Amino acid sequence: MEPQQKPSRVLVVTHPLRQDVAELAGKLAAALEAEGVAVKICSGATRSLLRPDALVVGDDVTGENADLVLALGGDGTVLRAAKVAAEADVPLLGVNFGKVGFLAEAETGELETVVSRLLAGEYTVEERTALAVEAMGTDGEQHHSWAFNDIAVEKAEPARMLELYIEIDGTRISRYGSDGVVVASPTGSTAHAMSAGGPVVWPDVDALVVVPMNAHALFAKPMVVHSSSVIRIGVESVGTEGALIADGKELTRLTCGSTVTIRRSARPVRLVRMSGQPFASRLVSKLSLPVDGWRHGRI
């Protein structure tokens, strides 16, 4: 492992409602500042807890003046920090305070080790594919956004199906009624896409995943396409709205005639890695996979 440059300015992004995380963030900042590292802590803003979008990070949060972003929280916190890091083109290190922490590199009890290895430059940086999305409404209004894990076109009304079509590189592939479609990066293949029945894709595979959700069709299968592919989803439902979701956050509503175009983003995420643990090992440990079949131990 070639030593990396010691960070001089670190942006710490934390969960806005976890007091334990806030306290540890303060201790972490003090330890880094004692070694001459400038630290800024961003906990985000908290809206009314009666609202489903209660947890937000202000639009003014930026990693422009940082050379490393450190996320303290679960995968949701890492996802929010990932956009900041990607926009600033700086590495991102996640420390897990959540349940699974698939995107995190370290656990809560390893903060002391994290600090010492950061200061010594004992880490590598791994580039991960992200997604860019453009939605076009029937009125010509456009919405542009970015996601690390996935982009989803979902039905906005639980009791109704969403009629849509899928095109890949300009060719119509499928057309059906469904709960929606998830397009995931390799990193995001273990999130929403996997829950919808999609394949697990190793993060270094140069591909994107397209997964229908509960399609009313006999042959609506998940697809793995090249990362250079352009995926276009068109909404055909009359009287039923769709919702465009990026990394779990609703961006806009979609009506009949709306289209969504998804491609690989020009802004990847640069994840900090401190261990040589292979992805297969991470997959087994994070998801607590039962590696022994029912025949194990039988004669």
Say if residue 61's pLDDT is above 70: no
Give the whole-angstrom CA distance, residue 210 versus residue 231: 9
pLDDT score, position 74: 84
Please indicate whether residue 75 is annotated as part of the active site.
yes
8 Å CB contact between 202 and 226:
no
**Tens-place pLDDT, residues 174-195:** 999 999 999 999 999 999 999 9
CA 10 to chain centre: 21
Of 67, 75, 150, 247, which is the active-site residue? 75
Q: pLDDT grade, residue 54 (50/70/90)? A: very low
Average pLDDT (27-54) is 69
> Higher-confidence residue: 158 or 246?
246
> Higher-confidence residue: 120 or 2?
120
Phi/psi of residue 21, nearest 5 degrees: -70, -40
Question: Rounded to 5 degrees, what angle do the CA atoms 19, 285, 124 make?
Answer: 75
Q: pLDDT grade, residue 46 (50/70/90)? A: very low
Structure tokens at 124: 């590598």
> Higher-confidence residue: 35 or 152?
152
pLDDT score, position 298: 66
Give the whole-angstrom CA distance, residue 77 versus residue 16: 9
**Tens-place pLDDT, residues 208-230:** 999 999 999 988 999 999 999 99
Question: Rounded to 5 degrees, what angle do the CA atoms 221, 235, 252 make?
Answer: 110
Question: Rounded to 5 degrees, what angle do the CA atoms 103, 108, 113 make?
Answer: 95
pLDDT score, position 170: 96
- Report the predicted TM-score, pTM, of the whole model to 2 decimal places: 0.87
For residue 57, the one-letter residue type is: V
> Higher-confidence residue: 292 or 177?
177
CB atoms within 10 A of CB 16: 20
Average pLDDT, the chain: 86
Conformation bin of residue 65: beta by default, left when phi > 0, alpha when psi is -120 to 50: alpha
Give the whole-angstrom CA distance, residue 17 versus residue 11: 18
